[in-house]
A and B are shown apart, each in its own frame.
Chain A
């Protein structure tokens, strides 16, 4: 069986810690090796890294999972987009999403107001779920992402960097702003024919937030930042 990887079993006995490949070579040696080999995160296939044209993406030779990209955009542009998204996120939470009017009664709610209303109506579980997926997770994810990118941008080392990056990756699947946005649209259509609906500031903020977040994810995936975190061997 031919492989591109050299393994010397002797090293196992010397080192009590897991070590990045290959062992025993200097910093330079590690770099050259690390940049030449990648393991698919979905099927565990070991494969050679290849150089990509700008804008290109590499997929796994066995399971076709996306492995890495060569981005045209710089992390600085992602940082700008995320900062704009953070401003929109604050606006989206500070103002009512929409208000409705029927028989002279007018009702408006912010997202947090809706969460509170559910809590007081004996639905604490649903209330907590909505709070977490639409406010807490996106807020922490956004601010952490901005923090990590700023630290890297200004070349500040930070002990907590790996933890922050892992926090982003853990929260990522639970931050569901785009699903909530679809929920807002469905509610609007449901109420449209029976009540008078006035769109609020937050509705426009959410629309802008969606565009900014989509642009930010198109320029950078948090996983790509691992390569920029130094190893303490």
Chain B
């Protein structure tokens, strides 16, 4: 694979970029904790401990993903029965109720997106740790996609919040949040944090080192 650009990465010629404001900086090597002269953020060549922190958050999210899917996230009490829904059974009952576009939407936001995030971030971390030079552009795009879709998983949390606040019709029907919703909320927050701590520059560093 040939390197397409004569111009190197900023780090390869010793230039720092402020991660908060984008200012291009030259940092004296003896300076340990540099601050950006424009925005006062700490200046790093790469996000600090990116791989370790992302692994930690990702593993925590993966563990919580199990109770998030197995425990009930919503309980519906009516006159003579109590229905306990997990994420998946909620989707199934939406599908059976005839609102299949909605079922698809919830299925996508609550099940597909978190799973795609967990699997893709694991893949990105492993590929970066192995120093892979395989399809960096596609991996960079995958990362961009993860950052964009992550927030939409919160959908189910908001639906549960609204339903449990509104459907309080004494003995006829009432809805309350189940313990699964806590685990699910934690998965969404942790995967968002994991995507934020991952440094996409690492994807390209392997190419620079291979040819520099």
Q: Which residues of A contact B (CB under 8 A)?
A: 1-5, 7, 11-13, 15-21, 23, 34, 37-39, 41-47, 61-65, 97-100, 102-103, 105, 107-109, 113-115, 117-118, 121, 123, 125-127, 129-130, 133-134, 162-163, 165-166, 169, 173, 176, 179-180, 182-184, 186-187, 189-191, 193, 223, 226, 229, 231-233
Q: Which chain B residues (153-211) contact chain A, with CB distance < 8 Å?
A: 154-170, 172-173, 176-177, 181-182, 185-186, 189, 192, 196, 200-201, 203-205
Closest CB-CB distance, B24 to chain A, in whole Å? 5
- One of B1-9, B51-59, B60-68, B121-129 contacting the partner: B1-9
Residues of B within 8 A of A5 (CB): 13, 15
Residues of A within 8 A of B159 (CB): 183, 186-187, 190
Q: Which of B9, B27, B39, B176 contacts A229 (CB 8 A)?
A: B39
Residues of A within 8 A of B172 (CB): 102-103, 105
Q: Which of B8, B182, B201 contacts A3 (CB 8 A)?
A: B8
Closest CB-CB distance, A43 to chain B, in whole Å? 4
Q: How far is the CA of A34 from the CA of B18 in the complex (A)?
A: 13
Residues of A within 8 A of B163 (CB): 187, 190-191
A44 near B25: Cβ-Cβ < 8 Å: no
A169 near B20: Cβ-Cβ < 8 Å: yes
Q: Which residues of B contact A (CB under 8 A)?
A: 4-11, 13-17, 19-31, 34-41, 43, 94, 97, 99, 102, 105-106, 136-137, 140-141, 143-144, 147, 151-152, 154-170, 172-173, 176-177, 181-182, 185-186, 189, 192, 196, 200-201, 203-205
A187 near B15: Cβ-Cβ < 8 Å: no
Q: How far is the CA of A200 from the CA of B23 in the complex (A)?
A: 46
